[in-house]
Structure 1
Amino acid sequence: MKKALLALLVLGVLAGAAAGGWYFLRERRITAFASAPVTLPTAATVEIPSGTGPKRLAQLLAEAGVVTDADLLYLYIRREQLGPRLQAGEYEFTGTLTPGQALEKIVSGQVKTYRFTVPEGLRAEEILPIVASSELKLDLRKLERLAADRRFLADIGVPAGSIEGFLYPDTYTFTRKATEEAVLTKMVASALEAYRRANAQRKNEVKLDVLEAFTLASIVEKETGAPEERPRIACVFHNRLKMGWKLQTDPTVIYAMRLLRGVYSKNITKKDLETAHPYNTYTRVGLPPGPIASPGAAALEATLRPLDCEDLFFVSRNDGTHIFCPTLECHEAAVHEWQVQFFRKKRQQGN
Structure 2
Amino acid sequence: MWRAIASNAMTLFIVFLLAVGVAVIWAKDQYSAEGPLASAICLRVESGTNMNALAERLADQGAISNLAIFRAGAEYSGKSSQLKAGSFLIQPGTSMEGIINTVTASGRSTCGTEINFRIGVLRAEVKVRELDPETSKYVEIISFDPAEEAPEAYVDYAERGDTRYRVTLAEGVTSWQVVQELRQAEFLEGSLSAMPDEGSLAPDSYEVKRGSERQALVDRMTAAQSAVLAEAWEGRAEGLPLNSPEEALILASIVEKETGLAEERPQVASVFVNRLRKGMLLQTDPTVIYGVTEGRGNLGRGIRQSELDRETPYNTYVIKGLPPTPIANPGRAAIEAALNPDTTEYIFFVADGTGGHAFAKTLREHNNNVAEWRKIEAERAKNQ
TM-score between both structures, scaled by the size of structure 1: 0.64
Aligned counterpart, 1:205: 240
2:165 corresponds to which of 106, 129, 137: 137
Aligned counterpart, 2:35: 37
Aligned counterparts of 1:257 and 1:134: Cα–Cα separation in 2: 37
Structure 2 SS opposite 1:204: coil
Quote the offset at 1:16 in angstroms: 4.2
Question: Structure 1: 5+ residue runs without aligned partners?
Answer: 152-159
Query: More strand by proportion, 1 or 2?
Result: 2
Q: Deviations over 1:305-350 (max 9, x none)?
A: 33455544323333312232445x6544543x23445545x27975
Aligned counterpart, 2:337: 302
Aligned counterparts of 1:94 and 1:109: Cα–Cα separation in 2: 17
Quote the offset at 1:73 in angstroms: 1.8
| Greater displacement, 187-196 / 300-309 | 187-196
Question: Structure 2: 5+ residue runs without aligned partners?
Answer: 131-163, 168-180
Say if 1:166 and 1:191, in contact at 8 Å, map to a contact too: yes
| Greater displacement, 318-327 / 215-224 | 318-327
Say if 2:117 and 2:166, in contact at 8 Å, map to a contact too: no
Structure 1 SS opposite 2:165: coil
Aligned counterpart, 1:101: 98
Determine whether 1:195 maps to 2:229: yes
Aligned counterparts of 2:303 and 2:353: Cα–Cα separation in 1: 16
> Relative contact order: is structure 1 or structure 2 higher (C-alpha 8 Å, sep ≥ 6)?
1
Judged with a 3 Å threshold, the aligned counterparts in structure 2 of structure 1 residues 217 and 331 are, in CA distance, closer, same or farther, namely same
Say if 2:349 and 2:357, in contact at 8 Å, map to a contact too: no
Aligned counterparts of 2:350 and 2:14: Cα–Cα separation in 1: 93
Quote the offset at 1:236 in angstroms: 2.8
Q: Deviations over 1:194-223 (max 9, x none)?
A: 434432133233334333322211211222
Judged with a 3 Å threshold, the aligned counterparts in structure 2 of structure 1 residues 254 and 116 are, in CA distance, closer, same or farther, namely farther
Aligned counterpart, 2:71: 74
Say if 1:164 and 1:291, in contact at 8 Å, map to a contact too: yes
Say if 1:241 and 1:247, in contact at 8 Å, map to a contact too: yes
Aligned counterparts of 2:330 and 2:295: Cα–Cα separation in 1: 20
Quote the offset at 1:253 in angstroms: 3.5
Aligned counterparts of 1:243 and 1:94: Cα–Cα separation in 2: 60
2:323 corresponds to which of 263, 287, 298: 287
Aligned counterpart, 1:249: 284
Say if 2:37 and 2:93, in contact at 8 Å, map to a contact too: yes
- Give the partner amino acid of 1:209: S
Determine whether 1:60 maps to 2:88: no
Aligned counterpart, 1:235: 270
Aligned counterpart, 1:168: 203
Aligned counterpart, 1:321: 357
Aligned counterparts of 2:206 and 2:65: Cα–Cα separation in 1: 32
Judged with a 3 Å threshold, the aligned counterparts in structure 2 of structure 1 residues 60 and 211 are, in CA distance, closer, same or farther, namely farther
Judged with a 3 Å threshold, the aligned counterparts in structure 2 of structure 1 residues 41 and 260 are, in CA distance, closer, same or farther, namely closer
Q: Deviations over 1:269-299 (max 9, x none)?
A: 33554567654544654324224243342x2
Quote the offset at 1:163 in angstroms: 6.3
Quote the offset at 1:304 in angstroms: 1.4
Say if 1:281 and 1:288, in contact at 8 Å, map to a contact too: no
- Give the partner amino acid of 1:137: Y
Say if 2:55 and 2:71, in contact at 8 Å, map to a contact too: no
Judged with a 3 Å threshold, the aligned counterparts in structure 2 of structure 1 residues 33 and 184 are, in CA distance, closer, same or farther, namely farther
Aligned counterparts of 2:314 and 2:347: Cα–Cα separation in 1: 20
Q: Deviations over 1:206-243 (max 9, x none)?
A: 33433332221121122234555433422332344456
Aligned counterparts of 1:241 and 1:180: Cα–Cα separation in 2: 41
Aligned counterparts of 2:209 and 2:67: Cα–Cα separation in 1: 26
Percentage identity across paired residues of the two chains: 20
Aligned counterpart, 2:155: none
Say if 2:37 and 2:92, in contact at 8 Å, map to a contact too: yes
Aligned counterparts of 1:244 and 1:343: Cα–Cα separation in 2: 31
Say if 1:148 and 1:162, in contact at 8 Å, map to a contact too: no
Say if 2:237 and 2:339, in contact at 8 Å, map to a contact too: yes
Q: Deviations over 1:180-201 (max 9, x none)?
A: 7787666555544443443213
- Give the partner amino acid of 2:244: D
Q: Give the RMSD, CA atoms, in angstroms.
A: 5.1
Aligned counterparts of 1:175 and 1:122: Cα–Cα separation in 2: 18
Aligned counterpart, 2:137: none
Aligned counterpart, 1:27: 24
Aligned counterparts of 1:163 and 1:87: Cα–Cα separation in 2: 45
Aligned counterparts of 2:96 and 2:372: Cα–Cα separation in 1: 67
* Higher alpha-carbon Rg: 1
